[in-house]
Amino acid sequence: MIIPESNLEVADNSGARRVQCIRILGGSKRRWATVGDVIIVSVKEAIPRGRVKKGDVHRAVIVRTAKEIRRP
């Protein structure tokens, strides 16, 4: 479960290494995000010559969490 101000590792090749969750999209009272949810993040650490720079704000999708997923 991801809450605002959570620090996350990036799983794609955009050039960002670490981001921080700013907001969870999908309602004004959403408390946490799980796999598949869209969040807004700020880049905190990036590789040199990457497509994204430190301080950029982007949308991101949660693809993996430490908390297991309950399936129906």
Divide the 72 residues of the chain into consecutive groups of 10 and give the mean pLDDT of each group. 96 96 95 96 96 97 93 84
Length of the chain: 72
As its CATH architecture, domain 7-61 has Beta Barrel (2.40)
State residue 4's pLDDT score: 96
State residue 18's pLDDT score: 98
State residue 34's pLDDT score: 94
Domain assignments of the chain as residue spans, ordered by start: 7-61
d(CA 55, CA 65) in angstroms, rounded, equals: 24
Of 10, 1, 36, give the one whose Cα is nearest residue 56: 10
Neighbour tally for 7: CB within 10 Å: 12
